[in-house]
Amino acid sequence: MKATIIGGAGRVGSNTAFALQMDGTLAEIVLVDVLREQAQGEALDLRHGAALAAPQRIRAGGCEDAAGSDLVIVTAGLRRKPDESRLELVNRNVALFRGILDDLRRVPLPESAILIVVANPVDVLTYLAATEGPFAPGRVIGTGTLLDTARLRSLVAEDLGVDATQVDALVLGEHGDSMVPIWSSAAVNGVPLRSFPGFDAAKQQALLEATRKSGAEVIRLKGGAGYSIALATREVVRALALDRRSVLPVSSLQAGAMGISGVALSLPTVLGARGIAPVLDIAASDEERDGLLNSARVLRDTLDNLNKT
Ligand SMILES: NC(=O)c1ccc[n+]([C@@H]2O[C@H](COP(=O)([O-])OP(=O)(O)OC[C@H]3O[C@@H](n4cnc5c(N)ncnc54)[C@H](O)[C@@H]3O)[C@@H](O)[C@H]2O)c1
């Protein structure tokens, strides 16, 4: 399988390339970036590790080198300028992303090719790609709240002093402030979180706040997330490349599950070789359902206000 990472010289792109190299599930990885030399350097550095990792072909290239890719991963994004509003940044990133989609329209890709959107605002960009092409809506996946879910699981595990891989707690909705934790089904290897010794409402609130602020805290300390989002993206790639039918909280164009349609946001989604199959309608409390509808409204507002600055 061949994957192309657009934005491959950046922090998220290069970290993702490394995570995918370590995984060994792909035969070929191409790093595309406007910083051509930086991309060449990243590819060279990764290739030097080939003897110690997996026999993959890793190289830098232009968008035309995405030809024949089974997976296209977009991590290219811009950072906020001083004094810039959130919406101005959204508009600049939307323009950049549409430019990348235009470039991809000119590249021969298999009909089965899948687009993985990592760049922010991930739900907005996922919506645009799913509604504007060139990929079929069922083959456009945003990493969405997969990272928020991983963060919450890790924070719960650290707090309770248990194995993070055994903490099962979903975050759904917008990858942003209106994200919704699904506490009603949270558990540690089958033990309901609400009955776990030492867990209470105050702790729950504190852990949610810490999850919400995690992204900003990482930006403050090191400029932005890299390793954790790379591992989240690897999880999506594994599900697709190995047809694992993994249930992951990822973003896609919604068409009615949980009463939501016409926006892209994260709901539990089965991912396999053909992409999304299907999005699950799950049991949730009234508060959680309302939270998801609120996330949908927030995202609809952003879409309605695009290019109005
Ligand atoms: N979805 C998530 O959970 C999540 C987590 C972390 C970061 N992100 C997002 O990922 C994006 C990248 O973050 P980063 O820290 O890697 O930024 P970065 O600045 O390190 O990397 C971005 C890269 O994109 C490249 N680029 C810009 N325009 C391009 C184009 N038209 N074609 C090809 N490459 C282009 C830049 O040269 C740069 O190398 C941001 O939008 C960020 O918000 C998302």
- In ligand 1, the atom with minimum distance to the C-alpha of 120 is 41
In this structure, is residue 16 part of a structural domain?
Answer: yes
Q: Quote the number of domains for the chain.
A: 2
Q: What is the CATH number of the domain that holds 131?
A: 3.40.50.720
Q: Concatenated DSSP letters for 77-124?
A: --PPPTT--HHHHHHHHHHHHHHHHHHHHTS---TT-EEEE-SSSHHH
Q: What is the CATH number of the domain that holds 259?
A: 3.90.110.10
CB burial class (10 A; 0-12, 13-18, 19+) of residue 232?
Answer: buried
- Both 138 and 163 in one domain: the answer is no
- Both 118 and 224 in one domain: the answer is no
C-alpha closest to that of 118 among 147, 95, 98:
147
- DSSP letter at 144 equals T
The alpha carbon of 56 and the centre of ligand 1 are apart by a number of angstroms equal to: 24
**Is residue 48 among the annotated active site residues?**
no
What three-state secondary structure class fits 151?
A: helix
Catalytic residue among 175, 212, 215, 228: 175
pLDDT of residue 148: 98
Residue 77 beta carbon below 6 angstroms from any ligand 1 atom: yes
Domain finish residue from 95, 112, 142: 142
The alpha carbon of 6 and the centre of ligand 1 are apart by a number of angstroms equal to: 9
What is the Rg, in whole angstroms, of the alpha carbon atoms belonging to the chain? 19
Per the structure, the complete domain to which residue 219 belongs is given by: 146-304
- Both 96 and 157 in one domain: the answer is no
Give the span between the Cα atoms of 76 and 182, in whole angstroms: 30
Q: Return per-residue pLDDT of the chain as tens, 309 residues.
A: 999 999 999 999 999 999 999 999 999 999 999 999 999 999 999 999 999 998 789 999 999 999 999 999 999 999 777 777 777 889 999 999 999 999 999 999 999 999 999 999 999 999 999 999 899 999 999 999 999 999 999 999 999 999 999 999 999 999 999 999 999 999 999 999 999 999 999 999 999 999 999 998 999 999 999 999 999 999 999 999 999 999 999 999 999 999 999 999 999 999 999 999 999 999 999 999 999 999 999 999 999 999 765
Torsion-angle region of residue 268: left (phi > 0), alpha (psi -120 to 50) or beta?
beta
Residue 172 beta carbon below 6 angstroms from any ligand 1 atom: no
Residue nearest to atom 1 of ligand 1 (CA): 118
- Both 116 and 160 in one domain: the answer is no
Give the span between the Cα atoms of 42 and 50, in whole angstroms: 13
